[in-house]
Amino acid sequence: MGKNRGELVQGTLDMLILRTLARGPMHGWGIAQQIHQISDDVLRVEEGSLYPALHRMELDGWIDAEWGQSENRRRAKYYRLTARGRKALRQEASHWSELVEAIARVMEAV
């Protein structure tokens, strides 16, 4: 159990990325850092799977990308949520809460 600590539940990476981008445009590194910090260092995004996921969502039109200046004045690729992405986030979020409630009910049952 301890070994898996911090690994993301399968299929939640997209949702977390979208939720993070809902606060405003961000680059890949920043997305990974925010997820890490907001979850109080519990969740750690596998960096190798972050970029394929970003590019897949870009192809699907959930997010847009654009080059900009980072905090330390470097060229960075910023991702921004699109209308389709917002819709996808709502769907994923509601699906997720259903799942959590269902698991909770099973766990609470005697």
Partner 1 sequence: MRRIMKRLGALWHRRRLDRDLQDELAFHLAMSEGQTGDPGVACRRLGNVTALKETTRDLWSFAFLESCWHDFRSAMRTLRANPQLTAVAALALGLGLGANTTVFTVVSSALSFDMGVDHVERMVALHPGPGAADLDPAAPSPLDFLDLRKQVRTLGDLAAYRYTAVNVSDGHAPAERLWRVEMTASGWAMVRQKPLLGREFSPRDEAPGATPEVLLSHKLWDSRYGRDASIVGRAIRIDDVEREVIGVMPPGAQFPEDCDLWTPLTVEELTDPAFRNQLTIFGRLAGSTTLAAAQSEVEALAQRRFGAKTNGPLARVRPFLEMIGVYNMRPVLMAMVFAVGFVLLIVCADVANLLLARSAARAREISIRIAIGAGRARIVRQLLIESVLLAAVGGVAGWMVAILGLRWFENMVAQGHVPSWVHFAMNARGFAYLAAISIGAGILFGLAPALDLSKVDVNSAIKDGGHGAAGAARGRRFAGLLVGFQMALCVILLAGAGLMIHSTLNLYNAPMAINPQNILTMRLALPETKYASEESVRAFYRRLKTDLGALPGVSQVALTSNLPLSGWMSFRGELDGAAATKSAELDALVVDRDYFHALGVGLRKGEGFSGGPRPEAIVNRSLAEKFWPGEDPLGKRLRIARRAGRGPWLEVVGVAPELPQDLMRPLERQPLIYLPFDSQPEPSIYVMARTAVPPATLVEAFRHAVENLDRNLPAQNVSALEDRISSSRLNVSSFGRLFSLFAAIALVLASVGLYAVVAHTVSRRTQEIGIRMALGGTRKDIFGLVLKQGMRQVAGGLAAGIPVALVVTRALSRGLVGVSPTDPATYAGVAVVLALAGFLGCALPARRAIRIDPLAALRHE
Q: Does 47 bind partner 1 (CB under 8 A)?
A: yes
Q: Does 85 bind partner 1 (CB under 8 A)?
A: no
Burial of 37 (0-12, 13-18, 19+ CB in 10 A): exposed
What is the three-class DSSP state of 67?
Answer: strand
The window from 7-15, 18-26, 65-73, 98-106 that contacts partner 1 (CB under 8 A) reads 65-73
Residue that is written with structure tokens 């809460």 in the block: 97
Q: Does 5 bind partner 1 (CB under 8 A)?
A: no
Least separation in angstroms between CB 50 and partner 1: 8
Q: What is the DSSP letter of 8?
A: P
Residue 59 φ then ψ, to 5°: -65, -35
Residues in the site for partner 1, rule: CB under 8 A? 27-29, 46-48, 51-52, 55-56, 59-61, 67, 70, 72, 74-77
